[in-house]
Structure 1
Amino acid sequence: MIPVSVSSRFLYELTTIPNFSERVFCILQQTTISENVGVIERKLELLQKICQILKEDPAVLCVLGLILAIGNYMNGGNRTRGQADGFALDILPKLKDVKSNDNSRNLLSYIVSYYLRHFDENAGKEESTFILPEPQDLFQASQMKFDDFVKDLRKLKKDLLACEVEACKVGQKSLEEHLQPFKDNMEAFISKAKIEHEKLEKKLTEVHGRFLETAAYFCVKPKIGEKEVSPGSFFSIWHEFSSDFKDCWKKQSRLILQERLKEAEDVYKKKKEKTSIIVKPKHESGIKAKLSLLTQ
């Protein structure tokens, strides 16, 4: 008699489970669908958060205002360009290319420095936070396409329907004593997944509209061949600008920190010098002092 290994015995017993293949299919689909729902939800939340920051955050609007004001000042001798009410978004990545006369710094570093020194109370401290969306978030957003979201939700619905069909087969073909806990678990999962899918469809419509509003707010128009502004063309501009801005932010923050440390050292040195001065006691030389010496 040939001995049977534990693993072989286990696999054999699995195959004896009623409607084994249908059950495994549903369990695998449950994991896949849950993961896909989470991925789509996180992407849509990221898009929504970035659009809100770019359009509504006071610090971002302050930086854009500085760029416009400094640009108008630099073009002050030009009646047309020196009195602009706004600027095209594609100017943002080009700010670093505008150099000073001695080539020691660029316009972007000046803007960052000016903002930190005049508008950020925590400049040079740990409490100082980067005001633009993070470059990696903007890069991720630039890779998204709303058509892909539609396809993903369509596939999600298809996978959910297939899972429901296979779960029904198990319910129809299995004996009552073999149904639980599979039946209750699958019914709860399918019901929840349908609600989540419906919410994602509404969320996609909301985020898509929010994105188009944000693009229109910055007067960005679709490229040739595009029906509407795409996340790729819009967020790629912000990604490059945010990356350059963050590099300058770190450098200027370090400079401000060094300045504050030097100021603190100077204050400490002055206090130390004052305490090191020895004050000699005053010797009395009047009549009272002489009389007191005679009486001693």
Structure 2
Amino acid sequence: MKPLYWTRIQLYAKKQETSLLVWETIEEPKVDFEEFVELFSKTAVKEKKQPLSDTITKSKAKQVVKLLNNKRSQAVGILMSSLHLDMKDIQHAILNLDDNVVDMETLQALYEIRAQQEELDKIEKHIKSSKNKENAKPLDKPEQFLYQLSLIPNFSSRVFCILFRSSFSESMSSITRKLNILHKVCKALQDRETVKNILGLVLAFGNFMNGGNRTRGQADGFTLDILPKLKDVKSSDGTKSLLSYIVAYYLKNFDEDAGRETCVFPLPEPHDLFQASQLKFDDFQKDLAHLKKDLRACTSEVEKVCKVSDEDNLQPFKENMEDFLVQAKSELETLDTQLGSTHKLFLDLTVFYSVKPKAGEKEISPNTIFSVWHEFSSDFKDHWKKENKVILKERLKAAEENFRQAKEKASYSVKPKHASGIKAKLGTKM
């Protein structure tokens, strides 16, 4: 079966905890594994493989030649014992870009453990000097393993390209996701009307509180550092903060859906703001530069492999890797453009809010502006949730009262009044 690389949890090993774990409430159901095996089995490996170390012939001679130092030899030996593969499986996977038998994690381990040129020179020298000698001492298993790996055509170059192709998509997705968060938050803070409404309320109440103060009154705006401090400004009786009042006022006067399920949080989500605050444009530049460097190296390795490979071993490596290189280059150019536009959008936002660099900063970092917004948004959301519940209760109470009044009105009946005057009596006699 293909492996599932999860981290195991064992309930009996967990520490004393008061809270119940989800796994304590779950039992494995009885399932039919027939279709599952067909879908997720490693079809390329039909027979059970023995450890790779067991496939290398052990010499009957009492002495073997050890060319690696003890630490290096032990590391190679451990890897060999963990690989239940034949060398032909490894060669097939590398030459045919097939990860069904040898996964990327194994390829990475093989690439990292590969023989260095100095080690390979010693191994080849020994093999050459021992040729046609009857009593020649054989190589130890780790040395044999490294030598067999080196016999795979262009092992190092091919594996480097395969690993880079595998990691490229993940790296690009990670950078794109982070840029999308930045773009989303910048656009929300700059364009969302609800954000402007809230800032307008802060400005209005702040100006009212500051009155005719020469330095603080009659402001047209304010720096963002005041936003997280609104929760610390208490009412006279200490029961409310300025922030909680602004939240309540906003919901009652600006949000028609207040107290309903359709009510939408008016600020960027705190978790988006937190993630944005952790990002640095310098890191983006470094990540892109690293990808470009690796792409150039991969291009060089592909050209080398294609140049020296036999016709039998050229495909599918050549076609697959050349297609990948064209696509990767295009995606990098697109990402580079996206980074530039997102950086410009961020700089526009800092100007929009009159944000200045911190002491020692050459340029405003995302943390400078988004950490303030994150704290404010988190506090705002706490009060927003509470106030929505209050409004919901008020709506329910009002609805119940209306229903009660309507019910009383429907059950109220008027008794007909019987005529008893002289005119009525005369009418009955006629």
- 8 A Cα contact 2:211 2:218, kept in partner: yes
- Check if 1:212 corresponds to 2:347: yes
- Paired with 2:170 and 2:91, the residues of 1 have a C-alpha distance of 30
- 8 A Cα contact 1:143 1:231, kept in partner: yes
With 163-172 and 200-209 compared, the bigger mean Cα shift is at 163-172
With 282-291 and 156-165 compared, the bigger mean Cα shift is at 282-291
Give the corresponding residue for 1:51: 186
Q: Which amino acid aligns with 2:49?
A: V
- Paired with 1:68 and 1:160, the residues of 2 have a C-alpha distance of 51
- Cα distance, 1:262 vs structure 2: 0.4
- 8 A Cα contact 1:60 1:131, kept in partner: yes
Q: Which amino acid aligns with 1:74?
A: M
Aligned to 1:241, which of 373, 376, 384?
376
- Paired with 1:243 and 1:289, the residues of 2 have a C-alpha distance of 82
- Check if 1:6 corresponds to 2:28: no
Measured at CA, do residues 284 and 27 of structure 1 come closer, stay the same or move farther in structure 2, by a change above 3 Å? farther
Give the corresponding residue for 1:19: 154
- Cα distance, 1:42 vs structure 2: 1.2
- Paired with 2:372 and 2:261, the residues of 1 have a C-alpha distance of 28
Give the corresponding residue for 2:271: 136
- Paired with 2:282 and 2:212, the residues of 1 have a C-alpha distance of 47
- Cα distance, 1:158 vs structure 2: 1.4
Give the corresponding residue for 2:389: 254
- Check if 1:39 corresponds to 2:174: yes
The percentage of counterpart residues that share the same residue type is 56
- Cα distance, 1:80 vs structure 2: 4.2
Aligned to 1:109, which of 228, 233, 244?
244
Q: Which amino acid aligns with 1:271?
A: A
Give the corresponding residue for 1:202: 337
Q: Deviations over 1:193-236 (max 9, x none)?
A: 11111111121121112111111111111111111111111111
Measured at CA, do residues 277 and 150 of structure 1 come closer, stay the same or move farther in structure 2, by a change above 3 Å? same
- Check if 1:121 corresponds to 2:256: yes
Q: Deviations over 1:128-166 (max 9, x none)?
A: 111111111111111111111111001111121222222
Consecutive unaligned residues of structure 1, counting only runs of 5 or more, are none
Measured at CA, do residues 127 and 15 of structure 1 come closer, stay the same or move farther in structure 2, by a change above 3 Å? closer
- 8 A Cα contact 2:195 2:266, kept in partner: yes
TM-score, L = length of structure 1: 0.90
Q: Per chain length, whose mean CA-contact separation is higher, i.e. which structure has more relative contact order (CA < 8 Å, sep 6+)?
A: 1
- Check if 1:280 corresponds to 2:323: no
Q: Which amino acid aligns with 2:186?
A: C
Q: Deviations over 1:7-36 (max 9, x none)?
A: 547431134444344333222211211111
Q: Deviations over 1:228-263 (max 9, x none)?
A: 111111111111111101111101111111110100
Q: Which amino acid aligns with 2:174?
A: V
Give the corresponding residue for 2:213: 78
Q: Which amino acid aligns with 1:11?
A: D
- 8 A Cα contact 1:14 1:20, kept in partner: no
- Paired with 1:75 and 1:234, the residues of 2 have a C-alpha distance of 25
- Check if 1:174 corresponds to 2:309: yes
Q: Which amino acid aligns with 2:250?
A: Y
Consecutive unaligned residues of structure 2, counting only runs of 5 or more, are 1-46, 56-84, 93-152
- Check if 1:68 corresponds to 2:171: no
TM-score, L = length of structure 2: 0.63
Q: Which amino acid aligns with 1:6?
A: K
Give the corresponding residue for 2:287: 152
Q: Which amino acid aligns with 1:140?
A: Q
Measured at CA, do residues 5 and 277 of structure 1 come closer, stay the same or move farther in structure 2, by a change above 3 Å? closer
- 8 A Cα contact 1:63 1:115, kept in partner: yes
- Paired with 1:277 and 1:15, the residues of 2 have a C-alpha distance of 90
- 8 A Cα contact 2:247 2:384, kept in partner: yes
With 22-31 and 99-108 compared, the bigger mean Cα shift is at 22-31
Measured at CA, do residues 288 and 187 of structure 1 come closer, stay the same or move farther in structure 2, by a change above 3 Å? farther
- Cα distance, 1:291 vs structure 2: 7.3
- Paired with 2:388 and 2:402, the residues of 1 have a C-alpha distance of 21
Structure with larger Rg: 2
